[in-house]
A = this chain, B = another copy of it.
Amino acid sequence: MNNRRWLIAANPLGRALQASDFRFDEGEAPAPGPGAFLVRVSMLSFDPALKSYMENIAGYAAATEIGGVMLGEGAGEVVASNHPEFPVGARVKGAFGWQEYAVSNGAGVARIAEAVRDEAALGVLGVTGKTAYCGLVEAGRPKPGDVLVVSGAAGATGSIVGQIGKIAGCRVIGIAGGGEKCKRLVDEFGFDAAIDYKNEKARKRLRELAPGGVDVFFDNVGGEILNDVLARLAHGARVVICGAISRYNFDPRDPAQMPEGPRNYFNLVHAHATMQGFILHHYERFHQIAEARLSSWLEQGRLKPAVDVLDGLEAAPQALMRLFTGGNFGKQLVRIRA
């Protein structure tokens, strides 16, 4: 059985991703040994961390090698099995890599419930949704009436954070790149306002939109946006550092490449505010409740997942690169089998 896949062709440390970092390849689909099963992958999920995996520096995942199958989460169906918990026909999600077929022993693999589509399993009910829930609710601790600002608001996590903020009774301001994204955040996703950082002065707009300051800032971006929001903190503000898309293209081991830090960090003192680093796996005890609540909000129509789906395995490198140029709106996925 033929297995089309993408291999890592180069380590992109210290620079932007490029097409030549990936090599398309065809091989024989592996056969599952004792206790293992074979998954036919139907959809791939994309996240900026995938670039870090290729760089072998993040400490998030096992080391990768040039020539190895590109890492990544996906959803699919079990098509051959020697594992009682994952019988043929079961729908599953896990770190199957960028390929049509993957063998697994079940470690880190979860069943997908019948009613749940791949898009939701990989997005709002997956790592993305849990990051949004745990990061906002448990780290950001929003109170009703708070002003919540989300950067990368049109991204996978940001678009959910903003919607959970509305459920929590906050006034929600998104920061995104481009007027079209901002319009959609307000019109389709219920944000109270959105700032187009590419065409507006974020700090000035924050002053207008949140004259009393920002109570919770959920940051996916870093750089000047973080600095701008730090200038506008309300008393007792909570800043959650979830990501820093602006920092993905340098080598953190090389001080000369290192971008500047937030010059306004000392406003944490004036505002008696807290800045907290967030990684999902430190909030494991909340994962179950996060999934249950996200699920119920989804059913009630209070949460609207934003998904951005490209078609065909060939599109995978492009899908990943879009995350760093802001090409996507919402969760970036690639459908590799209808």
- Where the two chains meet, the residues of A that have a C-beta atom closer than 8 Å to any C-beta of B are 58-59, 222, 227, 241-244, 247, 255, 258-279, 282
Nearest 9 pairs of A and B residues by beta carbon: A268-B277, A261-B261, A269-B277, A261-B262, A261-B263, A275-B275, A274-B276, A272-B282, A258-B263
Question: Are A266 and B241 touching (Cβ within 8 A)?
Answer: yes
Q: Which residues of B contact A261 (CB under 8 A)?
A: 227, 260-265
A265 to B264, CA, bound (A): 12
A278 with B270: CB separation less than 8 A = no
Are B266 and A272 in contact (CB-based, < 8 A)? no
Chain B, Cβ-Cβ closest to A273 = B277
Q: How far is the CA of A326 from the CA of B9 in the complex (A)?
A: 53
How far apart are A131's CB and chain B's nearest CB, in angstroms? Answer: 12
Q: Which residues of B contact A271 (CB under 8 A)?
A: 277
A278 touches B272 (CB 8 A): yes
Q: If A260-B260, A261-B227 touch, does A266 touch B278 (CB 8 Å cutoff)?
A: no
Cα(A261)–Cα(B282), bound, Å: 26
Could you tell me if A263 and B259 are in contact, using CB atoms closer than 8 angstroms?
Answer: yes
Contact of A241 among B255, B263, B265 (CB under 8 A): B265
Chain B min CB distance to A196 (Å): 21
21 A-B contact pairs sorted by A residue (CB < 8 Å):
A58-B270, A244-B269, A258-B263, A260-B260, A260-B261, A261-B263, A262-B262, A262-B265, A266-B277, A268-B275, A269-B278, A270-B277, A270-B279, A271-B277, A272-B277, A272-B278, A272-B279, A272-B282, A274-B275, A274-B276, A274-B277
| Number of copies of this kind of chain in the complex | 2
Complex Cα gap A227–B260 (Å) = 11
Closest to A226 in B: B265
Known: A272-B282, A277-B274. A244 touches B266 (CB 8 A): yes
Whether B262 lies near A267 (C-beta < 8 A) is no
Q: Which residues of B contact A264 (CB under 8 A)?
A: 258, 261
Residues from chain B with a CB closer than 8 A to the CB of A243 are 269
The CA-CA distance from A227 to B222 in the complex, in Å, is 16
> Which B residues are in CB contact (< 8 Å) with A282?
272
Closest to A274 in B: B276
- Whether A241 contacts B269 in the complex (CB less than 8 A), given A274-B274, A274-B275, A275-B275, comes out as yes
Distance (whole angstroms) from the CB of A206 to the closest CB of chain B = 16
Q: Smallest CB-CB separation from A269: which chain B residue? A: B277
Question: Measured between alpha carbons, how far is A260 from B269 in the docked complex, in Å?
Answer: 17
Q: Which residues of B contact A58 (CB under 8 A)?
A: 270
In the assembly, what is the distance between CA of A213 and CA of B241, in Å?
20
Q: How far is the CA of A277 from the CA of B241 in the complex (A)?
A: 15
Neighbouring B residues of A255 by C-beta, 8 Å? 263
Instruction: Report the minimal beta-carbon distance from A327 to chain B, rounded to whole angstroms.
Output: 23
Instruction: Output the nearest chain B residue to A265 by Cβ-Cβ distance.
Output: B261
In the complex, which residue of chain B has the Cβ closest to the Cβ of A235?
B282
A265 touching B265 in the complex, CB below 8 Å, given contacts A59-B270, A272-B282, A274-B275? yes
For A266, list chain B residues within 8 Å (CB). 222, 241, 244, 247, 277
User: CB-nearest residue of chain B relative to A233?
Assistant: B277
Extra contacts, 13 of them, besides A241-B266, A265-B275, A269-B279 (Cβ < 8 A), are A58-B270, A59-B270, A241-B265, A244-B269, A255-B263, A259-B263, A260-B261, A268-B277, A270-B277, A272-B278, A272-B282, A274-B277, A275-B275
